[in-house]
Amino acid sequence: MIKKNIIRYPKESKNIHFKVGKNIIAKNKKKFYLKNNIHNIIKLTNTDYRLIKKNMNKLMHFNIQKSDHQPGKNYLIFKIYKKGNFNGRIFKEPILSDNSFIYTKCLSVKNNIQYINLKNKVFKYSLSNVKNINELQKAIKRRYNKSLAHLSNKEKMSLGVGVSELQIIKI
């Protein structure tokens, strides 16, 4: 049973934080989005980011419960340098790696899907470590272990997933 929408980012930050060399810098989010013609950014752990290969032209991306991705909109995928976290009260932004990114366009989105209702075809363009429901559940627990630290694994699994099909434009 899916709970009401959880709050993953309780506070909208005006900046995005990047590690550049030895420094952490903040870039204005609105200006960054406009300059890069994107709707938003997608943050991946180093483990997941490494699995995106140059010959891939599509990627199925999974979020806990839902995503705010919109078909037809562009997104940049960044590797997380340091995970953020949220304990139910205090939110700390992640720090992203500025040395590489992947430019994508969202093709389709489905939200609030229970794991049992996922079809095998949804894994066709997923990362190589997520090729079935069991692997997806493990990945969701791993990805959200800090950013939703106040939720138990059982609660996380009860939320279901959001699935975004992305066209990879440039790596």
- pLDDT at position 1, please? 46
Is residue 116 within 8 Å of 162, Cβ to Cβ?
no
Query: Which positions ≥6 away from 85 have C-beta within 8 Å?
Result: 91, 92, 146, 147, 149
| 10 token code pair | 């309780």
Phi and psi, residue 108, nearest 5°: -160, 160
Domain boundaries, the chain: 15-170
What residues pair up with 149 in beta bridges, in sequence order?
A: none
pLDDT tens for 18-54 read 999 999 999 999 999 999 999 999 999 999 999 999 8
3-state secondary structure the chain: CCCCCCCCCCCCCCEEEEEECCEEEEEEHHHHHHHHCCCEEEEECHHHHCCCCCCCCEEEEEEECCCCCCCCCEEEEEEEEECCEECCCCEECCEEEEEEEEEEEEEEEEEEECHHHCCHHHHCCCCCCCCCHHHHHHHHHHHCCCCCCCCCHHHHHHCCEEEEEEEEEEC
Is residue 155 within 8 Å of 44, Cβ to Cβ?
no
- pLDDT at position 93, please? 85
Kindly state which CATH superfamily the domain 15-170 is placed in: Hypothetical protein. (2.30.130.30)
Listed as ranges, residues in the chain with pLDDT below 70 are 1-11, 88
- pLDDT at position 9, please? 54
